[in-house]
């Protein structure tokens, strides 16, 4: 009977030691995730463009983000959630319950041909008429990395407007 207690005690100590090792590995993983996420947190400002454009992207520690800006005569905004996948920040918008015009983030530009109607913007609620001209920018699995103090959008170059970049910098 005494030998059985010793064997059970040995098994218990073995399990406790392995649980502590797993906990330490989890803590190390979460600590490294925290360090990586810190490089993304804060305010990011749009890089300069060839036309009037300014925006700010705020990455918050509670896994939310906000985005707002203006270009020429338009206002736009967004908000949603972010996750981190290794060294890549991924943003996804939460579509608003109010009526807004919608536009996809990162498209770069659209070309309108003279004499042809411009494609109307979609709305957040089917067939609603927005009471404001503000446009809700949809972030849909938009992936960013940090390089040389820049927050770079990972995307294929826009062939219509190759000079338009949806990248951000820490300070203006």
Calculate mean pLDDT across residues 73-77.
Answer: 86
3-state secondary structure of 19: helix
Total count of domains within the chain: 2
Highest mean pLDDT among 17-21, 94-98, 107-111, 150-154: 94-98
123: which residues sit within 8 A by CB, 6+ positions away? Answer: 99, 100, 101, 102, 129, 130
Residue-level pLDDT at 157: 63
Residues 12, 54 within the same domain = no
| Domain residue limits at 123 | 41-169
Residue-level pLDDT at 24: 47
Q: What is the CATH number of the domain that holds 136?
A: 2.40.128
pLDDT digits (tens, 9 = 90+) for 133-169: 889 999 999 999 998 888 888 876 666 666 667 777 7
Residue-level pLDDT at 141: 94
Residues 34, 45 within the same domain = no
Tell me whether strands 135-138 and 53-59 are parallel, antiparallel or unpaired.
Answer: unpaired
Residue-level pLDDT at 73: 76
Residues 32, 111 within the same domain = no
Evaluate if residue 170 carries a pLDDT over 50. Answer: yes
pTM: 0.72
Residues 21, 96 within the same domain = no
Calculate mean pLDDT across residues 3-13.
Answer: 49
CA 147 to chain centre: 16
């Amino acid at each position: 009977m005494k030998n059985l207690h010793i064997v059970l005690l040995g098994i218990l100590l073995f399990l406790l030691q392995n649980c502590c090792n797993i906990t330490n590995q989890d803590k190390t993983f979460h600590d490294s995730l925290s360090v990586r996420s810190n490089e993304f947190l804060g305010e990011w400002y749009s890089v300069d463009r060839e036309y009037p454009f300014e925006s700010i992207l705020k990455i918050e520690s509670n896994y939310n983000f906000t985005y707002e800006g203006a270009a020429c005569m338009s206002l736009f905004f967004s908000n949603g959630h972010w996750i981190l996948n290794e060294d890549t920040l991924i943003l996804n918008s939460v579509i608003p319950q109010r009526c807004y015009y919608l536009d996809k983030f990162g498209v770069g530009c659209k070309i309108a041909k003279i004499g042809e109607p411009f494609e109307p913007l979609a709305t957040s609620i089917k067939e609603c008429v927005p009471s404001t001209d503000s446009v809700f920018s949809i972030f849909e699995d938009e992936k960013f990395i940090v390089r040389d103090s820049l927050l770079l959008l990972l995307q294929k170059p826009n062939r219509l407007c190759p000079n338009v970049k949806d990248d951000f910098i820490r300070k203006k």
